[in-house]
Chains A and B, each alone.
Chain A
């Protein structure tokens, strides 16, 4: 038993065992409704909105620019705060100016990346937290009826986390001088996207 926990070299065997365990998902005689729709629609929901993608990726990029501890604080805190907003949306709690806040998120976060802004950690956490609640709330109110809530939530959180990871991955170029410039340009592009969404939100047009 001791070796079972301590031996890191049994990776292939573990993976094989896991695959074998997961494989016997038997065919169902009757089509089960909801599950696939729940997971896939949850996974695609954050990816289907360009405003959400820009903001999530920008959070990761900004975190990478800021370095430790922001690079790990933001991805740890963001999903939880966003889910809190989503829960409020699901419970029917109304928040004012959500669309405006979402539009502002891409603008503000893109601008922060462009400027390489370095506020104190708690200030950046509050900025990101406010935007996280807005994005989560919007998703919470938009969730379709009839899908499986648990699977939807799993897909939703995984997709959002992967968008962060993408942003952090892009932000790794920050360590090179050319990369820093490229990152700032990317921030400017995201901010311009934010201006577009802000204009849409103010004019009342659907994004």
Chain B
């Protein structure tokens, strides 16, 4: 069987591009100038704290196979939207940086070891991640403008696209060395998460 090279190269291009353009988390959505939907759409791709665990989970699901990819494709955006809806109801923003980092490390680790999780567990992780990050996102959005739900919808679409691309590409790699390359991406995410933890606990001076 011929090795699927193109999807593999595209996967790495996708990963490097998304990681390279990501910029720090914004408590408030970036103003793209294209309206609240695009603000939400852009938010995921420029927020590494949100993006990294999504990348890890999408790749993990892709490595497990198309069924897993499809489960995450549905579960993650839906849970994220539900979490965001709940977060919008909260009076004050929630910030839990250590929990976010630990979740990133955990998802990266699962990918690095190519964890043989069942479908239910992967879908459960997608729901957990979606609810948690959605809640944080939703709680940080401004409560007064009525455009916040539109921004949340933009985030949901961004998630759908990101999971489609990453899980789709990962599910297309079957040669052993290509799977290893995807696992290396998981180890990079763990390493980034560990360093983020170090930054969070940094001793100044």
Contact = CB atoms under 8 A, between A and B. Distances in A.
Given A6-B66, A72-B180, A89-B198, A17 B165 contact: yes
Contacts of B199: 90, 149-150, 152-153
B13 interface: yes
Given A8-B7, A17-B161, A150-B25, A140 B184 contact: no
Interface string B168-205: 11011000010010011011101111111111111110
Most chain B CB neighbours (cut-off 10 Å) among A9, A22, A75, A86? A22
B33 to A, nearest CB: 5
Interface residues of A, number: 56
Q: What is the interface of chain A mostly: helix, strand, loop, or mixed?
A: helix
Contact of B165 (A18, A83, A161): A18
A39 B22 CA distance: 9
A14 to B, nearest CB: 5
Interface residues of B, number: 67
A21 interface: yes
Given A76-B184, A79-B188, A157-B191, 5 more contacts: A19-B17, A38-B24, A83-B190, A92-B203, A157-B192
Contacts of B34: 24, 26
The 8 closest A-B pairs by CB, nearest first: A149-B199, A90-B198, A92-B203, A87-B198, A8-B172, A83-B191, A153-B195, A83-B194
Interface of B: 4, 6-7, 9-10, 13-14, 16-25, 30-34, 38, 41-42, 45-46, 48-49, 62, 66, 69-70, 73-74, 112, 158, 161, 164-165, 167-169, 171-172, 177, 180, 183-184, 186-188, 190-204
